[in-house]
Chain A
């Protein structure tokens, strides 16, 4: 007769194996996708706009304009967002997004890929399963192109700057929340399944102590390891966070032009760190593991 404990072990394994996947906040990514984008700031895709907001969000809300849609390169329910959408320099792109909604026309788009469990669905989202047209501007999604830097040939990379009138979340609150998040990861030879709880704190303001030199990303962007602080020269809240600089945007230009800056006052948005996911599942094989959610911060504005 086998002991109760041994049974518990096997039942646990079997539960993991056969428990229904129908949990919220589960996303299944193709490994090839993860490998392609783990060291890129942006994604190039062809975006079919299903719905777009009539007006940008008020600056006090975040100043973004949302558009829902689909892209064959992404293969997931998604939205795309323009930062500082009320500014006249973004008007051509905002107008195009609004005019193209519902026309079922795939339009070239470049922007920051962003996987974040902010608007999770009840059902698992499996990459490259058929994606039906979105029913509104904010369908359940874990994937975003946010911020957009180019749409329909029109450049809005200059939109990555401070949104006047908007107050980002404070560093202690936001990073405290990010650090508490967990993810359950498992992989097969071709796919990686990631489950996590709903995430929050989209925009966060902090000071970054840059560690080491910037390294180039595959799309021309840059990445730095940094310590995160709430105040200039203050206590480190989190260390060794990847900061992502989007090619051609004001933050990336400032990083290049500055002579080895040691500290930056930053507004950023968090996203899943695919570099960490890739390294972990490569070493972890097909085992299931519950770990801290790996994240990195996309720099969307550098404050003076």
Chain B
């Protein structure tokens, strides 16, 4: 049917971009966990919040309320601090510096004692805030919590920018490592209907799973005689991609095909790859086969890197739209969605 192969090609590319973006997200999260990027960003944000006063920031981090959030080894600092804990720690540290522990006045006294320091000036301003007519007056703790929340909004922005840069870098590494060349993948998808069909089916499975409103269980108990052995269900950390999705990526990406093609360039006619020849006659005349190959590969990789950098939600959204179009234009003999049958039994996979 006219139009369907084009649509399936688009679905295939979107799906591959989605899978690659998922890989990047997973790797990024892993690296963030290992390097303590979240904790470092939070620390930097708190330092900025207290006017760059390193010793005051250290006092907050060493306060038992905050230090208890650290890893017992003391190596990893907290990734997040509850506003209440931050506020209480700040108040206690400031009061202690005023040498008058206890009472609201001691907080002001502590700030007065350190009035030349930026953090004291900032906190004094925060505490001086008065309620608008009709509003309830906030307590000191609530004011400091609100100040912390505002600061954390900025921290979220920093983290977002850092994550963006990481995603770009990871997209480059993943795409080049896998040789996820958009032009080559397009040729394979266009010329091989079997692969195209598999890709569309996988895309359908993925979109249906993601659209399910019911959360997954944590584990499944599959063996009656092993009630102490729960099998984790799709944990995020270990399998962003299902095995069949990984197989599929293997069919569309990889370096072995292009290497063979490169070796054959000297003996074969230009652009005699596995798929259709997409190079134009003028291209063949102006570029040597090797240059054409290099240009095509680099351009294909570049397209994929840019695409993958858009992130998984973007490609999931686009993929859904294409799937909806395809579903609306279903061939008369094509069966309706087979996955809508419901089981009478609720599986208590926990």
Contact = CB atoms under 8 A, between A and B. Distances in A.
Nearest to B155: A18
Nearest to B312: A9
A242 B156 contact: no
B65 to A, nearest CB: 9
Contact of B156 (A14, A215, A237, A292): A14
B314 interface: yes
A254 interface: no
B156 A280 contact: no
A257 interface: no
Nearest to A243: B227
A215 B312 contact: no
Interface string A171-184: 00000000100110
A213 interface: yes
Given A285-B237, A289-B236, A6 B309 contact: yes
The interface residues of chain A, by DSSP majority, are classed as mixed
Interface string B9-26: 000000000000000010
Interface residues of B, number: 62
Interface centre among A126, A240, A294 (most CB of B within 10 A): A240
Interface string B307-327: 001111110010000000000
Given A22-B82, A294-B350, A190 B71 contact: yes
Contact of A239 (B82, B227, B232, B347): B347
A291 interface: yes
Given A283-B232, A285-B238, A291-B217, A3 B82 contact: no
A240 B235 contact: no
Contacts of A104: none
B211 interface: no
Interface in B65-85: 68, 71-72, 76, 79-80, 82-84
Interface residues of A, number: 65
Nearest to B83: A20
Given A124-B82, A179-B346, A275-B230, A280 B235 contact: yes
Interface string A24-55: 00000000000000010000000000000000
A102 B164 CA distance: 56
B219 interface: yes
9 contacts: A22-B83, A123-B84, A124-B82, A188-B79, A213-B224, A276-B350, A285-B33, A290-B215, A292-B215
Interface of A: 2-3, 5-11, 13-15, 17-22, 39, 123-124, 126, 129, 179, 182-183, 185, 188-190, 211-213, 215, 223-225, 228, 235-242, 273, 275-277, 279-280, 282-287, 289-292, 294-296
